[in-house]
Amino acid sequence: MKTIEQATDEFIAMIRQTEEYQEYQIQKNKIDRYPELKQQINDYRQKNYQMQLMGDTDELFERIDEFQKEYEQFREDPLVSDFLAAELAFCRMIQEINIRIMEGVDFENPNTQDFLE
């Protein structure tokens, strides 16, 4: 009988074989060659994350619009757009896996927002 650790190691190996993971690694390796660009991408991701935490505010749509305009040209760079697309695809795959696991073990997952209020 397999232990949970063995099954987890096998599952990780399977994830590493997915198209999403492999494409993410290819794009990540390209970005890693350009430290300044990598830092710009990290800054972009940090600002994007902070905006998502804002929740519903009167200024949210205005800030999103400004953010998109500010980074429009930046995102047109093929290195940036390819990396962000690969990262998003990989993250979505991981999110779907997490959801299925949580549902499969009948884990109550309260809305995090409830704790922030």
Structure confidence by residue, pLDDT tens digits, 49-86? 888 787 767 777 888 888 889 999 999 999 999 999 99
Q: What mean pLDDT comes out for the span 9-18?
A: 97
Mean pLDDT, all residues of the chain: 89
Q: Is residue 53 part of a domain?
A: yes
Q: Contact at 8 Å (CB) between 7 and 14?
A: no
Count of positions (residues) in the chain? 117
Encoded amino acid at 110, one letter: P
Interatomic CA distance for residues 75 and 99, integer angstroms: 29
Q: Is residue 6 part of a domain?
A: no
Give the pLDDT of residue 113: 46
61 lies in some domain: yes
pTM for this prediction: 0.80
Domain that holds residue 22: 16-105
In a domain, 11, yes or no: no
pLDDT (tens digit, 9 = 90+) per residue, 83-108? 999 999 999 999 999 999 998 998 87
d(CA 68, CA 106): 38
> Greater confidence, 110 or 86?
86
